[in-house]
A and B are shown apart, each in its own frame.
Chain A
């Protein structure tokens, strides 16, 4: 029972990170119907940017302020990266066949990944150990660290904020309108370009939080980790139903817990394969994901 609860806590932590990254995939897919393959690499980039900021400011500021400033500045820089990505790689292809945009996304992913390698080198970088004080709370044999609490709380706050933004604000409504029918949205006077840029800004900023969590929680970061985390997060988005925001959150959590249990009970060398077996089974029996709606084919 204790192993079960311990793995549940670990799984929820990883799951919230996946969910944060998955939101970036799902939002872009919802609005543009495009798999943003470069998102994972943007997340990796944010982990490196966060590390640079941390190292520059370490010792100057108090720990709480340091973390706050690192998070905010990394989110801003990554959001700018998202805007540049959209401008350079996706906007010129808005009217092109869909697969061309996929190739452009793959190209952008290669650019970011190899850009990171050229700047910071191919060797892994290590986050400093004491960014978040290493405090463990013992809840009747189940250990939960301060870092895990931080990940869970911040992710939860961000997800609730995103949910409120999408459902309660004017821009969020415009975003949902664009997801349903871009042309109709444009006819209603919605600035579709502005909505798409907003989507990329929010997605990249959430991804940046995910990237920082990966750095602080796992500590080791590599230039090509964007592929692995990106793919996992993408699977999470698909499992939940791509294009669906609560779906991405649910999918991320489920995938995190699933991964943790596989690693805890079976073997970690099969964990990735089993993740995809789960994905394939869900695709066979529920082709649009758990929360995805079944859409009738338009003729």
Chain B
């Protein structure tokens, strides 16, 4: 439930994000835009990984499908960007259901490996220029800016605000999910899938539901990604990126919104800040990942559910 204190914090958070671009150089606005996009993807990854408890290490597929559908429809078939948005949401949904349906029953690590497999097949297909429309290893560049009526989203700042709007939308969706029937179902089946099945939750349906919802959000984020760089390439959606989203959720704190945002900041913006130490930064970064997990195994900002008295949860 969103109480007044939380609402205040989110208000301050969005106020800061709204005024921020007026104080930043264009280079940093671009970094922050990418931060917002990655936050949206990480939040959608969190629906599958944190809330439904499925080890999905192939989330970049849905992000990439959204980005590529916009780019291909615009560049190859000449669609305006606005018209591509519904496709960029529906296509990842269909893909996620088709891909997840045969493997949804797999146990934790096996699901993880299979999703890695899907992601590698996906990037390989993009690289090999499948159907002759993906542009091969270089990808597609020169995508038009978004035009809604007479407004053109071409400047860096306008894309920043577009990304901010998408983040707000995602947070609203997740807030609704938390307080709705599917959200509770996902929470139960994450805690104990057998018990939840026994009390009549259709676990298979809700697992697919989680996949489809998160794929839709990731696809939408993909559209903004394409608009920001006006280009797409297979490298942005490879398996390493999926590992990044996976790690963001776990480092930040599964099913905790502030945790995931903090995780994205830590895993994406912090490395950008230390760009001058280009070579050594990922070494330090790996050490930091190990240390965070040792000190805070449930993430930097773990989630608190309900108010269960301590004497019940204590062993």
Contact = CB atoms under 8 A, between A and B. Distances in A.
Interface of A: 29, 35, 88-89, 92-93, 96-104, 106-115, 117-118, 227, 231, 234-235, 238, 242, 269-270, 272-273, 276-277, 279-280, 283-284, 287-288, 297, 299
B293 interface: yes
B154 interface: no
A287 B250 contact: no
Contact of A92 (B102, B124, B294): B294
Contacts of A89: 290
Q: Interface majority SS on B: helix, strand, loop or mixed?
A: helix
A104 B282 contact: no
A254 B25 CA distance: 54
A217 to B, nearest CB: 23
Nearest to B122: A273
A284 B117 contact: no
26 contacts: A29-B109, A35-B109, A89-B290, A93-B293, A96-B293, A99-B55, A99-B254, A100-B250, A104-B294, A106-B243, A107-B288, A110-B282, A110-B286, A111-B290, A117-B279, A118-B283, A231-B116, A269-B127, A273-B124, A276-B117, A280-B114, A283-B110, A283-B113, A283-B114, A287-B106, A297-B194
Given A100-B250, A283-B114, A110 B289 contact: yes
Contacts of B279: 114, 117-118
B251 interface: yes
B179 interface: no
A284 B102 contact: yes
B298 interface: yes
A227 B239 CA distance: 11
B105 A107 contact: no
Given A102-B250, A283-B117, A287-B106, 17 more contacts: A89-B290, A96-B293, A96-B294, A96-B297, A103-B247, A103-B293, A106-B286, A108-B290, A111-B287, A113-B282, A118-B279, A238-B110, A238-B113, A269-B127, A273-B121, A284-B103, A287-B107
A110 B107 contact: no
Nearest to A284: B102
B78 interface: no
Interface of B: 55, 102-103, 105-110, 112-114, 116-118, 120-121, 124-125, 127-128, 194, 240, 243, 247, 250-251, 254, 279-280, 282-283, 285-290, 293-294, 297-298
A88 B290 contact: yes
Nearest 5 CB-CB pairings of A with B: A107-B289, A110-B286, A96-B297, A111-B286, A276-B117
Contacts of B128: 269-270, 273
Contacts of B283: 110-111, 114-115, 118
Contacts of B125: 273
A118 B280 contact: yes
Contacts of B118: 276, 280
A29 B279 CA distance: 32
A234 B250 CA distance: 22
A97 B124 contact: no
A29 B280 CA distance: 30
A287 to B, nearest CB: 5
